[in-house]
Structure 1
Amino acid sequence: MKQETLPPITITTVDYARLAWIANAGINGQSYTVAEMLADELDRAMVAAPGTIRPDIVTMYSDVEYRDEVTGDVRRATLVYPGEEDLDAKRISVLTPVGAALIGLSEGQTMEWLGPTGGRRKITVQRVRFQPQRMAGLDA
């Protein structure tokens, strides 16, 4: 995906610091990994203080509703750190392709990328139902 076609994203300072560490720890020099996808997202992100981030932006621990533009399915999930994921509870890790695509997007934005088998993936944020960082003024 060309850099100029990607939607602008915003990430909080606290999320940025934690996610940069996770992305750097996960890059292993082999084929393009989700950690590298996350690192690429961080490289292009605008970074903002947690208390100033708009409530319609996906941050860590946001409860988000998104549409899979390939299947048409609308899904709801909470974005969490690796090790906190639980599919039954609809908690997805930021270190998955969908999680890395969601971080920093705002309502109405679409992200497209190539999946591990070469097929196109595309999601659109429908609604950020809950975003703890802005409400608390700090990271959740």
Structure 2
Amino acid sequence: MKYGSLILEKKEYVYLKRILNISGYAEDFETQKSLQRFSEELKNAQIVDEADIPEDVIRFNSKITVYSKNGWEKTIQLVIPSEKDAKKDKVSILTPMGAALFGYSEGDTIEWDFPSGKQQINIVTVTQDEKQKKIEIPI
């Protein structure tokens, strides 16, 4: 892990803690397990101000290209649950892929349990959407 632990911006951290507390409704066991692991990782995360978050850290609206040791590569955008859209590759934070990636950075490798089984994925690139700076976190 490039920075030693997950890195999250303060407002995004507060929002994540809130939605994870109410997300006990996850549709399946694997998703629930992913969200539980993500909650555990958040306990050791570095919480920083907006100005101090590195550009290559995955956060809301980040565009991420990931590569799996299984041979697939995909570019997605990580979004709040209400903005998810599979046709546009917008993945909710409340999915196993969203939970696996949030707070990690470009160059990191993650081993995570997905519904299709344990996979090792590499974070190839991370770019921030210009909309990122203006994200409105629901209260």
- Normalising by structure 1, what TM-score? 0.80
Q: Percent identity?
A: 27
TM-aligned CA deviation for residue 126 of structure 1: 0.6
Structure 1 partner of 2:90: 91
Shift of 1:65: 0.9
Change (3 A) 1:132 1:104: farther
Residues 127 and 104 from structure 1, CA distance in 2 versus in 1: closer, same or farther, beyond 3 angstroms? same
2:97–2:114 Cα contact (<8 Å) kept: no
The number of aligned residues is 129
State yes or no: 1:9 paired with 2:2. Answer: no
**2:8 maps to amino acid:** I
Query: How far is the alpha carbon of 1:43 from its aligned partner?
Result: 1.4
Q: Give 1:108 shift.
A: 0.6
1:115 Cα deviation from its structure 2 partner: 2.8
Q: CA deviation at 1:31?
A: 5.5
Alpha carbons 1:14, 1:139 under 8 Å: kept:
no
Query: How far did 1:139 drift?
Result: 4.4
Q: 8 Å contact 1:56–1:107 — kept in the other structure?
A: yes
Query: Secondary structure of 1:75's match?
Result: strand
CA distance in 1, matches of 2:88, 2:115: 25
Tell me if structure 1 keeps the 8 A contact 2:56–2:106. Answer: yes
Task: In structure 1, list runs of 5 or more residues that go unmatched.
Answer: 1-6
Within the alignment, does 1:105 sit opposite 2:104 as a pair?
yes
Q: Superposition RMSD on alpha carbons, in Å?
A: 2.3
Runs of 4+ in 1 over 4 A off after TM superposition: none
Q: Do 2:35 and 2:96's aligned partners in 1 also have CA atoms closer than 8 Å?
A: no
Is the partner of 1:59 in helix, strand or coil?
Answer: coil
Q: Matched residues in 1 for 2:50 and 2:114: separation?
A: 31
C-alpha distance in structure 1 between counterparts of 2:130 and 2:121, whole Å = 22
5+ residue gaps, structure 2, are none
Does the C-alpha gap of structure 1 residues 53 and 131 become closer, same or farther in structure 2, counting only changes over 3 Å? farther
1:26 and 2:23 are equivalent in the alignment? yes
Q: TM-score, normalised by structure 2?
A: 0.80
Paired residue type of 1:62: S
Do 1:67 and 1:126's aligned partners in 2 also have CA atoms closer than 8 Å?
Answer: yes
Contact 1:67 1:73 in 2 (8 A): yes
